[in-house]
């Protein structure tokens, strides 16, 4: 059983709850390694199609790196192969991951959320990359993901000052999809997950891979000319036939994911 997180499977959805509330869900190397293993299993499990990640308690999604652990001699800023929270350096996952951000998402906690495909925030959520204020830098992807997700000047305003951004401002800046009352957060994340589940899982994965890989090249033409493994799998799948057939028969499709 995981020690630093709770894992719940419900049909096609995996919910991962970072469970160090007494430390505002800050993560140390053992917790990062454990989350890496959890998401390895998620990616490898054909029965799981979507993941939701959140934090235990009402105060924090994750306050980032456990600096007290580092300062006590518990290790340096060790980075796991799959990155902070098992997500920030995970570039080969084509399944959707939703961040349900309750309370504080600081430093590495914010970087986990930025590495997800959607961010649903509670109305008490607060986002920041305050690493420069403690002599560090947002090395788990924050310096690169944030300027790709919001306008450059707004991103630099956050990165160079470490200032805190409310859930509402995050929504206005564009890196949050929806803001809801704290009590409704997981239900809202599940609502987004259920909408994704209405779609072909192979279509969803082909879309995610195409978008992410397409962003690596400078022009739309090059992106459209790219060759994507997930697209090839989609076009050879049963679901590629099932979708149009269900539409013609005026019924809901029965997705197989193959």
The catalytic residue among 78, 111, 198, 242 is 111
Sheet with strand 165-166: strands edge to edge: 60-62, 104-106, 126-128, 165-166
Residue 9 in domain: yes
Per-residue pLDDT tens digits for 203-244: 999 999 999 999 999 999 999 999 999 999 999 999 999 999
Is 80 exceeded by the pLDDT of residue 68? no
Q: Do 116 and 26 fall into the same domain?
A: yes
Q: Which domain holds residue 150?
A: 5-197
Helix (H, G, I), strand (E, B) or coil at 103: coil
Per-residue pLDDT tens digits for 163-211: 999 999 999 999 999 999 999 999 999 999 999 999 999 999 999 999 9
Q: Is 131 a catalytic residue?
A: yes
Domain count, the chain: 2
The catalytic residue among 3, 47, 131, 178 is 131
CATH of residue 101's domain is 3.90.226.10
Per-residue pLDDT tens digits for 75-96: 555 667 899 999 999 999 999 9
Nearest Cα residue to 208 out of 82, 67, 80, 49:
49
Q: Is 242 a catalytic residue?
A: no
Instruction: Measure CA 50 to chain center.
Output: 10
Q: Do 50 and 26 fall into the same domain?
A: yes
């Amino acid at each position: 059983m995981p020690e630093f997180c709770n894992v719940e499977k419900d049909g096609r959805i995996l919910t991962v709850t970072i469970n160090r509330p007494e430390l505002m869900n800050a993560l140390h190397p053992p917790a990062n390694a454990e989350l890496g293993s959890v998401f390895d299993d998620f990616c490898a499990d054909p029965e799981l199609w979507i993941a939701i990640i959140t934090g235990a308690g009402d105060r924090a999604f994750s306050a980032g790196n456990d600096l007290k652990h580092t300062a006590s001699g518990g290790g340096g800023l060790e980075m796991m192969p799959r990155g902070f929270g098992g997500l920030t350096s995970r570039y080969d996952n084509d399944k959707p991951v939703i961040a349900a951000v309750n309370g504080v998402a600081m430093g590495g906690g914010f970087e986990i959320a930025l590495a997800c495909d959607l961010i649903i925030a509670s109305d008490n959520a607060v986002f920041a990359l305050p690493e420069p204020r403690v002599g560090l830098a947002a090395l788990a992807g924050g310096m690169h993901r944030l300027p790709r997700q919001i306008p450059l000047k707004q991103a630099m305003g956050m990165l160079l000052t470490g200032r805190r951004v409310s859930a509402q401002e995050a929504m206005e800046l564009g890196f949050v999809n929806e803001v809801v009352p704290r009590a409704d957060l997981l239900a809202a994340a599940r609502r987004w997950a259920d909408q994704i589940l209405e779609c072909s899982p192979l279509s969803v994965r082909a879309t995610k891979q195409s978008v992410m890989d397409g962003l690596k090249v400078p022009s739309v033409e090059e992106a459209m000319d790219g060759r994507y493994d997930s697209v090839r799998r989609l076009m050879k799948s049963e679901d590629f036939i099932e979708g149009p057939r269900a539409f013609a028969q005026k019924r809901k499709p029965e997705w197989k994911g193959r």
